[in-house]
Structure 1
Amino acid sequence: MPRGDKSSYTDKQKRQVEHIEKGYEHRGVGKGEAERRAWATVNAETGGGKKSGGGRGKAENHGPSRKGGKLGGAAAAHRTAAERSASAKKAAATRKRNAEKRG
């Protein structure tokens, strides 16, 4: 089987890749990089292609899919307290201004 051959993957795994890839593209990742990351995620979850014998196989690990959400907030951690405070004050002022427009 040549490198990059996807014939050993199930239809479900291929659908998962498409879905994950769309998510990456929606976030601004390029087409090629999104596809590479999607296949890496499915491989990490399922252990690679599953289309073979009739055995039970191995359980799926959904940690790699959950990992992405936990990475958020890193930018805020690198900002100073003054920068975070200024941002919060600006947001509060915007909310107040929008509320006055509505009400």
Structure 2
Amino acid sequence: MPAGSSKKREQQYEHIKENAKEHGSSERRAKEIAARTVNKERARSGESKQASKTSTRDSKSASQRGGERSHQGPGGPTKEQLYEEAKKKNIDGRSQMNKDELRKALGR
């Protein structure tokens, strides 16, 4: 957490970090997810000195978006992501499968 962060942001950081760890993220990845999320919220609310355009122009906060960009939202993972997962699991015929077939073969 950046120096001088409010108690609310520190609590938010810890909550997000613990949630990410519960969902299987490593300690390092959980810290990264929490820091990025909290920093974006700080930028959106004007608490930070600098903010990227995507932080301030986004119509939804990260908590409202609820993973829409994590490839688990409405569109789900891309065909390429499914293919890579099928490749790791050594699923036969994966190169000839479309997105729905890959999804079924992976049990999604």
TM-score by length of 2: 0.50
Matches within 5 A, 1:77-92: 78=82, 80=98, 81-83=100-102
2:12 paired residue number: 16
Cα separation, 1, equivalents of 2:19 and 2:37: 12
- The 1:34/1:22 distance shift into structure 2, 3 A limit, reads same
Aligned length: 77
TM-superposition CA deviations, 1:4-50 (whole Å, max 9, x none):
6x331000000000111111111111112211220111101112994
Higher-Rg structure is: 1
Code of the residue aligned with 1:69 in structure 2: it is: G
For structure 2, the 5+ residue unaligned runs are 49-58, 84-97
Cα separation, 1, equivalents of 2:32 and 2:106: 36
More helix by share: 1
Cα separation, 2, equivalents of 1:25 and 1:7: 24
Q: Secondary structure at the match of 1:74?
A: coil
Cα separation, 2, equivalents of 1:29 and 1:86: 25
2:61 paired residue number: 63
Matches within 5 A, 1:37-56: 37-47=33-43, 50=47
Give the % identical residues: 25
- The 1:62/1:10 distance shift into structure 2, 3 A limit, reads farther
Cα separation, 2, equivalents of 1:66 and 1:46: 15
Code of the residue aligned with 2:16 in structure 1: it is: I
Q: Secondary structure at the match of 1:69?
A: coil
For structure 1, the 5+ residue unaligned runs are 52-60, 89-103
Runs of 4+ in structure 1 off by over 2 angstroms are: 48-51, 61-69, 75-88
Q: Is the 8 A contact 2:82 2:103 kept in 1?
A: no
